[in-house]
Structure 1
Amino acid sequence: MTFSGHHRWLIACTALLAVFVVGANGVDIYLEWNVAIDTTINPTILQQPVITINGMFPGPLVNASTNDFIHVNVFNNLDEPLLLTWNGIQQRLNSWQDGVSGTNCPIQPGKNWTYVFQTKDQIGTFFYFPSINFQKAAGGFGPIRVNNRIVINVPFPKPEAEFDLLIGDWSYTSYKDARSLIQSNNTPGHLNLPDFVLMNGKGPYGYPGIVNYESFTVSQWKTYRFRISNVGNELSFNFRIQNHQMVVVETEGSYTQQITLDSLDVHVGQSYSVLVTANQKEADYYIVATPKMLSTTDNSSLVGKGVLHYANSNTPVSGPLPSGPDPFDRAFSVDQAKSIRWNMTAGAARPNPQGTFNVSNVTLSQTFILHASMANISGLPRYVVNNVSYLTLDTPLKLADQFANGSDVYQLDQFPVQSVKDAAEYGVFVSTGNHKGWIELVFKNDLDVMDAWHLDGFGFYVVGFGDGDWQPELRSTYNLLDPVVRSTTQVYPGGWTAVYAFLDNPGMWNLRSQNLKNWYLGQELYVRVYDPDPNPAKERPPPENILLCGKFETSAPASSPSGPPAAPVPPAAPVPANAAFGQTPW
């Protein structure tokens, strides 16, 4: 059979269309995780309980591509309830899988539950971690990569390899003892400083008693992508590599303008991708993470240290650690934060440029001004938002919405979102977010330490930073041209940070401090974005394997107040066990 030019053109178009359809639909990835306590790993110089996943600390990599469906069957082998949350994965139309106390019942000890979520219209670098019971202080975290579909160009050449680098502060105190201490009337609401900074669960290179340290092997003149996440509990850090520069290319799902830096500030809960070219002589070089807002020496346990090892090197690391900015130099940090801008011409999850979606001319429908501070409530130190310390309920808010219209569980819009209550109190802080409206969130840090705020379900545009009190006229200082989109932003002591978000994702969404003790002691609220249309294309119904607890522990009503739940959206067809996951477009 012979084909005319017209027929060959049709065949080529059909093949290209098939690539687009397969890439757009995503594939199913099935994971089975056993979460347990291990007392033999010893990430520092003391034996202590560590939360592992399949025996690993950090946990296994979730390697996916845009629009894939991730199925994670989690077996809880701890002696207490467990939830995992997917930091930065937006759970489009599906807050049922968010894995926080306001949306999910916990997995009970000895039980299992399967999360099913889609990396819909996302790319980038993220991580997961336990969200309740202060368990993140014991581990249980791991990396997430969401790669581009093969039909979308990446705005930089394919690196030789990619490395996940999870860095965070770590304490000797067991997580159960720690959570008891911070709730005690005998402490000022916080623990002492952490004891170590770990890199991928390993202690600092060269520190007395540390046997295992993190090392990455590279080949001279090759370029590598480092996916860096701050998985710590309270400390921001400055990251650098001896004698090497880095090019920032992505943060939490957004391609950035490519700027070359000697060092990079990474705040709690944040993730970045940087490109590093091995362009030095073949030797070994320090990889360093030093804490912000603290004075440390090169030999401090709070200085994370690893090694960049050239493949043919016989020369160990030497000399002083690479110098970084003064940890108290706020101007440096703010200026760098302002320099992290969106790459307006790059595509990401979709072929159209990121700059197709911008905030240069939006109309705000809401403004929340959220003051974070400490208060004493009934003789106990607590963190508060507008003088309200969040009270976690036995019944998840999302479950109450579905089966009881929220009645007898919480009162919507009970607390102020633009002012501070006269007296501090406990409360179930749930506020309305206008569906498909633009919201301005102003985070005011009345604390004397660095804070970081995160919004589940959305990426937000980081439009402004400032000192002191925020006033409406300060909007004139915002960057509305190319602000970066991410899900976690730092808030400097005594300062404010402003972000915009488009609330197009119906659900019950957690807005919280990423600092673990702040979150655990009440610095959070929920934003309820409601769409009355039961169409599952707008918001998915409860999963068939829904867990029940609190008011609904025995059984759930047959239907929700707005009618029976719609049929679940069927997942894509299963992928053979030997299929390759995490495709990249190169």
Structure 2
Amino acid sequence: MAVSSNRWSAILLAIFFTTANGIDIFLEWNVALDSTIKPAGLDQPVITINGMFPGPLINATTNDFVHVNVFNNLDEPLLFTWNGIQQRLNSWQDGVSGTNCPILPGTNWTYVFQTKDQIGSFFYFPSINYQKAAGGFGPIRVNNRNVIAVPFLKPEAEFDLLIGDWFYGDYKKRRSMMERSLDINDGGVPNMILMNGKGPYGDPMSKAYESFTVTKGMTYRFRISNVGSAFSFNFRIQNHKMVLVETEGSYTNQITLDSLDVHVGQSYSVLVTADQDDSDYFIVASPKWFNSSASTRLVGLSVLHYSISNSQLTGPLPTGPDPFDLEFSVNQAKSVRWNLTAGAARPNPQGTFNVSNISLTQSFQLHASMGAINGQPRYVVNNVSYLTVETPLKLSDHLVNGSGVYELDRFPTQTVNSEASYGVSVVSGIHKGWIELVFINQLDVIDSWHLDGFGFYVVGFGNGEWTEESRSTYNLYDPIVRATAQVYPRGWTAVYAFLDNPGMWNVRSQLLNNWYLGHEFYVRVFNADPNPAKERPPPENLLLCGIFHDSDVSDMAPAPAPMSGW
């Protein structure tokens, strides 16, 4: 029977509406401490989700709604953040101390967030109380809608590979040492590197090692994330090339690599073809900017296993670049560029959205260093060490104009204060304006900075001090768009972001010690339009804490916009 053109139009419209608006995904997580996992072969508490370490995969598609009901079985408050998920119009679900009250022990709370206009590889982790050092992290995939082509052939399978440095002992003891400044200078060296929560191949103390089974002639997608606390690492697979295809929601120009630098908080996708003899091959992650020769545990090792292989791993580990070769690392970083012709979350090519003709409305120069406050070393940005307060900034912003919690625009964004101090650092971001963030690293380690709520265009890297003349070196043609960018020792990294996402957004170092001890501030992007299409209202299950702990939110009306200044 023939189908009328009107009916076909209705069917096609229904299909488009369904694929464009996504589906609901419901997850239930029980978060607990487990001392039996022993990833390092030692007794230590590990944060698990549903008994798993790492935690379960969140596997979504563009525009899906993800509901995560988190039951906190720890003995202290808990929050999760979704590293790189932009939370369009909805910073209430961001899961950091400035936006959410924590989930108290013995209680549960449901996050509801949308993977709005996103694709790519990401991960989640606990964001408060130094808990990331104990685990609780897991992978996130956001897949293309069927109506948008992926710019490479469908791989035989996909593997999530979470790699990160790991510390021995109880994270609470380490946290206490950090707070008392006993561990800030010499305690930044991790004890081992884990791959998917497992120790290195051949390590006598580890219970197991990670292994990936492949079939000769097939191509596989590895989604690699650095979930560690301190180390950047160089990733490589013995005798195999990798084709870089995606990073944190952007399809890249496809380049063939022998090895790939992955910095703390970053995620990449590479394609690997099993084109060697049927055998087993080393998968290696070795730290950058550190000599790991004194400890075999500081090289992550797993196995690429060909399905009909009966041979053992042989030969030396595949060598990578000199860990102190910054020229290699910077040149590779500059080669990671946006695929301008590929579609991603939207059908238009990525190159439709570019920075070649934009006008900047704000520019922040952010000097990350160490300072002394009351005789105690702390990490500071423009000589201000972020002071975490009990009342979330977003909550106070909504209910009482920030009064009693923070004062807007006290944080210096152009110059460095003469003396280090604590501050609840919140700055104004101009809604729908273009902002330039220049991260200036005055430390002797590779730093890594993240902006919640946005993907930013990584336009430039440089050595030494940044000046306005440095803009002449920027790549404004095809800079990669991502959420975390590395900043090399004594160097700078410049990014652009379009502030079209109203909310209270966290800017932080992804290095856990640095973040925990002050490398953090917030950008408040305000839109006065009460239309929920501009910014979503607080959720019905909104938690109260701090100065609102005993309040009834139903009796509280939103406050007007705060004024800048003192």
**Bin of the TM-score, shorter chain as denominator length:** over 0.9
Q: How does 1:340-419 map to 2 (within 5 A)?
A: 340-419=336-415
Q: TM (normalized to structure 1)?
A: 0.94
Q: How does 1:264-283 map to 2 (within 5 A)?
A: 264-283=260-279
Please give the alpha-carbon distance, in whole angstroms, between the structure 1 residues aligned to 2:374 and 2:98.
24
Runs of 5+ consecutive residues of structure 2 not aligned to the other structure: 562-566
In the alignment, which residue of structure 2 is the partner of 1:560?
558
Q: How does 1:79-478 map to 2 (within 5 A)?
A: 79-189=75-185, 191-297=187-293, 300-478=296-474
Please give the alpha-carbon distance, in whole angstroms, between the structure 2 residues aligned to 1:456 and 1:446.
23
Please give the alpha-carbon distance, in whole angstroms, between the structure 2 residues aligned to 1:83 and 1:71.
15
Q: How does 1:36-47 map to 2 (within 5 A)?
A: 36-47=32-43
Residue deviations 1:136-164 (CA, integer Å, cap 9, x gap): 00000000000001101000000000000
User: How many Å apart are 1:296 and its aligned residue?
Assistant: 2.0
Please give the alpha-carbon distance, in whole angstroms, between the structure 2 residues aligned to 1:316 and 1:273.
27
Q: TM (normalized to structure 2)?
A: 0.97
- Of 547, 551, 563, which residue of structure 1 is paired with 2:543? 547
User: How many Å apart are 1:14 and its aligned residue?
Assistant: 3.7
In the alignment, which residue of structure 1 is the partner of 2:564?
none
The amino acid that maps onto 2:538 is P
Please give the alpha-carbon distance, in whole angstroms, between the structure 2 residues aligned to 1:2 and 1:298.
75
What secondary structure does 1:440 align onto? strand
In the alignment, which residue of structure 2 is the partner of 1:486?
482
User: How many Å apart are 1:299 and its aligned residue?
Assistant: 6.2
Residue deviations 1:266-303 (CA, integer Å, cap 9, x gap): 00000000000000010000000000011123961000
Please give the alpha-carbon distance, in whole angstroms, between the structure 2 residues aligned to 1:15 and 1:380.
66
CA contact (8 A) 1:19 1:151 kept: no
Q: How does 1:495-514 map to 2 (within 5 A)?
A: 495-514=491-510
The amino acid that maps onto 2:236 is R
The amino acid that maps onto 2:83 is N
User: How many Å apart are 1:558 and its aligned residue?
Assistant: 2.5
What secondary structure does 1:399 align onto? helix
- Of 524, 528, 536, which residue of structure 2 is paired with 1:532? 528
Please give the alpha-carbon distance, in whole angstroms, between the structure 2 residues aligned to 1:23 and 1:425.
50
Please give the alpha-carbon distance, in whole angstroms, between the structure 1 residues aligned to 2:222 and 2:294.
23
How many residue pairs get matched? Answer: 559
In the alignment, which residue of structure 2 is the partner of 1:18?
14
Percent identical pairs in the alignment equals 71
User: How many Å apart are 1:174 and its aligned residue?
Assistant: 1.4
The amino acid that maps onto 1:72 is V
What secondary structure does 2:298 align onto? coil
User: How many Å apart are 1:376 and its aligned residue?
Assistant: 1.1
User: How many Å apart are 1:181 and its aligned residue?
Assistant: 1.0
Please give the alpha-carbon distance, in whole angstroms, between the structure 1 residues aligned to 2:85 and 2:182.
38
Residue deviations 1:166-220 (CA, integer Å, cap 9, x gap): 0000010311011111122444445141000000000000122223000000000
What secondary structure does 1:301 align onto? helix
The amino acid that maps onto 1:429 is S
Please give the alpha-carbon distance, in whole angstroms, between the structure 1 residues aligned to 2:100 and 2:506.
12
What secondary structure does 1:220 align onto? coil
The amino acid that maps onto 1:561 is A
CA contact (8 A) 2:38 2:207 kept: no
The amino acid that maps onto 1:268 is V
Please give the alpha-carbon distance, in whole angstroms, between the structure 1 residues aligned to 2:299 and 2:158.
24
Residue deviations 1:14-47 (CA, integer Å, cap 9, x gap): 4333221111010000000000000000001211
Please give the alpha-carbon distance, in whole angstroms, between the structure 1 residues aligned to 2:184 and 2:224.
32
The amino acid that maps onto 1:295 is N
- Change over 3 Å in CA distance of 1:535–1:314 after alignment to 2: same
The amino acid that maps onto 2:514 is N
Please give the alpha-carbon distance, in whole angstroms, between the structure 2 residues aligned to 1:347 and 1:336.
24
User: How many Å apart are 1:12 and its aligned residue?
Assistant: 4.2
The amino acid that maps onto 2:97 is S
Please give the alpha-carbon distance, in whole angstroms, between the structure 2 residues aligned to 1:400 and 1:192.
34
The amino acid that maps onto 1:442 is V
Please give the alpha-carbon distance, in whole angstroms, between the structure 2 residues aligned to 1:117 and 1:306.
34
CA contact (8 A) 2:387 2:423 kept: yes
Residue deviations 1:220-260 (CA, integer Å, cap 9, x gap): 00000000000000000000000000000000000000000
Residue deviations 1:360-383 (CA, integer Å, cap 9, x gap): 010000000000000111121110
The amino acid that maps onto 1:51 is I
- Change over 3 Å in CA distance of 1:435–1:507 after alignment to 2: same
Please give the alpha-carbon distance, in whole angstroms, between the structure 2 residues aligned to 1:97 and 1:430.
19
